């Protein structure tokens, strides 16, 4: 916990160093402005002493006006300094918050696919937001509270030493006791702030998860269950939130009591010294002003500490993510993949998801240039895993995967993905326009190229009928489109990419047979002179593949053309084909 707080502050400090000149001017302005603010009461002391002096009235008035001019000048100077710091801080903080947001965004997206599989979207969004908000809170506390507190207390103590030694010593002792109590309390409360933050994250995660699955909640009669579950979680959050807030109220009561002791005690001593002629009326004004200043800033110190700890606890989860090394990353000086023929080789590849049962073991496969293959088998035998490993969604446990004799673990991930067009089984689209979603396959594509790809994928028809055509927004994850329409957009995106290696993972599973036939006719043109890997349970779509690879239990158990496999006795593929005969007619 303590280490996370240090790491958070380290990240914030590194961000500040990018604007150190501006930070310097802000700090200097606040320090000088705070000093000016604290020495003004010295002139009010002179003002009241002059007011009660025995000088002639015209002399008194003249002196009072002179003092007021000095006070006005100091106040204006303090205002200029502090307002200058405010204006600089507006740019300073907003710029760093933007930098931190960009840092979180960039680092988050470099995490592995398994990281996102094990994380809630709503939780991650909340963590990024809390991380940047925490910086804003902490920097405000440091600049406008903590820094001014230190400067003002130091100046006040120096002045009080000159007024009366006992006052200064008494205030120092009281401040030390007060601050120690605050620190102890803040550290005690910090662990409960962490628990509160985790409870808030859990609540946000459940809320996001149920909203994403709102249709399931309705269709499977899960409303009451989810409402009760959410109420149970919010009840736990209520308890820890009530406890932490109650601690703050309890401690504020203690703080108030300590301040009463200070004020009454100091004024009791002041009366004694006044009786002895050691204090003037102006000294009483000075003491009262300083006491009010001390109480205000020291009272805020308790809140500064507590709010700082709370902000650090809010940032802790994102800090852990930023300090978690990326599982899959490019090696130093990794080269870009250069695809000439597209030959793919799996050499004695081994892989397991949870270091228990192996999904692939001693897996060997060579896909020749321009060859079109299909991976076939029952669910869970390792077909999709082969694709995930080729895309480097996971690192293999053993062996090598080569593309044109280049080990994919030694080339940049970006260049690997650039040379592969993927059409997934469940296409996830952006909440952007249709043209933007298709153009994502080739960001510099012209509108004409996008429309051509859409026509090949047979999605131009339904796009043309939309109110805004290609500029129609399709909702989060493409929810405004049907499953078949999403798949067509995904296919259009892959067509536009026109990469030398194409992967179809159940790419037409959401299409009706007629639409599927039209699209495969179009895709045959796209697949010319390219390496094609297809995963499908609809075997009729792969009859014309050059080779069909049958996988079972992470191993290749048979391979050959469609005709070769159905003529083979005891063939697993033959059994699967016979189960689907008549299901699709070309």
> Domains in the chain, start-ordered, CATH in brackets?
2-322 (1.20.1560.10), 426-498 (3.40.50.300)
The mean pLDDT of 515-544, rounded to a whole number, is 78
Q: Where is pLDDT greater, at 390 or 377?
A: 390
Residue 508 has pLDDT above 70, yes or no: no
Cα 335 vs. chain centroid, distance in angstroms? 29
Backbone φ and ψ of 558, nearest 5°: -165, 155
CA distance 419 to 523: 17
The dihedral sign for the CA sequence 181, 183, 189, 193:
positive
Residue 584 has pLDDT above 60, yes or no: no
Range in 149-153, 276-280, 348-352, 404-408 with the lowest mean pLDDT: 276-280
Query: Could you count the other beta carbons within 10 Å of the beta carbon of residue 227?
Result: 12
Structure tokens at 162: 């000159």
CA distance 484 to 493: 14
CB 494 within 8 A of CB 423: yes
pLDDT at 405: 93
Residue 470 has pLDDT above 80, yes or no: yes
Q: β-strands 360-367, 501-505: how paired?
A: unpaired
pLDDT at 339: 92
Angle at 488 between CA 513 and CA 120, to 5 degrees: 115
Residue 586 has pLDDT above 70, yes or no: no
- Strands lying side by side in the sheet with 344-351: 360-367, 344-351, 398-403, 406-407
The pLDDT-based confidence of 163 (bands split at 50, 70, 90) is confident
- Burial bucket for residue 107 (CB in 10 Å: 0-12, 13-18, 19+): middle
Cα 503 vs. chain centroid, distance in angstroms? 31
Residue 417 has pLDDT above 60, yes or no: yes
Which are the contacts of 581, defined by CB distance < 8 A and separation ≥ 6?
none
Q: Where is pLDDT greater, at 248 or 433?
A: 433
Residues 243-272: pLDDT tens digits? 888 877 787 777 778 778 877 777 777 777
Q: What angle do helix axes 2-16 and 57-109 make, rounded to 10 degrees?
A: 110
pLDDT at 433: 92
Residues 189-217: pLDDT tens digits? 777 877 887 888 788 778 877 877 776 77
Give which of 577, 573, 536, 545 is closest to 558, Cα–Cα: 573
Residue 585 has pLDDT above 60, yes or no: no
Query: Could you count the other beta carbons within 10 Å of the beta carbon of residue 191?
Result: 12
Residues 548-570: pLDDT tens digits? 999 888 888 999 998 888 888 88
pLDDT at 16: 94
């Amino acid at each position: 916990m303590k280490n996370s707080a240090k790491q958070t502050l380290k990240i914030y400090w590194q961000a500040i160093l990018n604007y150190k000149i501006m930070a310097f001017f802000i700090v200097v302005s606040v320090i000088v402005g705070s000093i000016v603010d604290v020495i003004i009461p010295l002139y009010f002391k002179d003002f009241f002493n002059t007011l009660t002096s025995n000088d002639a009235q015209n002399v008194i008035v003249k002196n009072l006006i002179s003092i007021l001019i000095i006070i006005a000048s100091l106040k204006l100077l303090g205002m200029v300094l502090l307002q200058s710091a405010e204006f600089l801080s507006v740019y300073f903080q907003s710029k760093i918050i933007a930098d931190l947001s960009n840092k979180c965004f960039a680092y988050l997206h470099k995490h592995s696919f398994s990281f996102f599989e094990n994380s809630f979207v709503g939780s991650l969004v909340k963590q990024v937001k809390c991380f940047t908000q925490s910086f804003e809170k902490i920097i405000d506390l440091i600049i406008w509270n903590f820094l001014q507190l230190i400067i003002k207390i130091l100046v006040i103590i120096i002045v009080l030493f000159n007024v009366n030694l006992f006052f200064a010593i008494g205030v120092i002792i009281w401040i030390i006791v007060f601050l120690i109590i605050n620190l102890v309390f803040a550290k005690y409360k910090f662990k409960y702030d962490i628990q509160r933050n985790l409870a808030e994250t859990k609540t946000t995660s459940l809320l996001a998860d149920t909203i994403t699955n709102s249709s399931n909640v309705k269709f499977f009669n899960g409303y009451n269950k989810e409402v009760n579950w959410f109420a149970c979680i919010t009840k736990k959050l209520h308890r820890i939130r009530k406890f932490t807030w109650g601690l703050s109220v309890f401690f504020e009561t203690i703080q108030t009591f300590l301040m009463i002791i200070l004020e009454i005690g100091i004024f009791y001593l002041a009366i004694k010294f006044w009786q002895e002629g050691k204090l003037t009326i102006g000294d009483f004004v000075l003491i009262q002003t300083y006491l009010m200043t001390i109480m205000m800033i020291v009272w805020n110190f308790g809140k500064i500490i507590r709010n700082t700890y709370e902000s650090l606890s809010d940032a802790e989860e994102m800090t852990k993510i930023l300090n978690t090394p990326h599982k899959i990353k490019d090696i130093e000086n990794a080269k870009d993949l250069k695809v000439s023929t597209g030959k793919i080789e799996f050499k004695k590849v081994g892989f397991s998801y949870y270091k228990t049962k192996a999904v692939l073991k001693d897996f060997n496969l060579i896909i020749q240039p321009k060859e079109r293959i299909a991976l076939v088998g029952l669910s869970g035998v390792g077909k999709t895993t082969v694709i995930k490993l080729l895309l480097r969604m996971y690192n293999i446990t053993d062996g090598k995967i080569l593309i044109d004799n280049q080990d994919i673990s030694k080339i940049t991930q970006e260049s690997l993905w650039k040379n592969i067009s993927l059409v997934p089984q469940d296409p996830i689209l952006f909440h952007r326009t249709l043209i933007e979603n298709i153009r994502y396959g080739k960001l510099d594509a012209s509108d004409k190229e996008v429309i051509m790809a859409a026509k090949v994928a047979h999605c131009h028809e339904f796009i043309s009928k939309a109110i805004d055509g290609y500029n129609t927004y399709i909702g989060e994850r493409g929810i405004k489109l049907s499953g078949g329409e999403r798949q067509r957009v995904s296919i259009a995106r892959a067509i536009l990419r026109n990469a030398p290696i194409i992967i179809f993972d159940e790419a037409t599973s959401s299409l009706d047979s007629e639409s599927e036939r039209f699209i495969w006719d179009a895709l045959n043109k796209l697949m010319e002179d390219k390496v094609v890997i297809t995963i499908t349970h609809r075997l009729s779509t792969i009859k014309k593949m050059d080779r069909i690879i049958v996988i079972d239990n992470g191993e290749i158990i048979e391979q050959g053309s469609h005709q070769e496999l159905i003529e083979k006795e005891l063939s697993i593929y033959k059994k699967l084909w016979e189960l689907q005969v008549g299901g699709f007619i070309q």
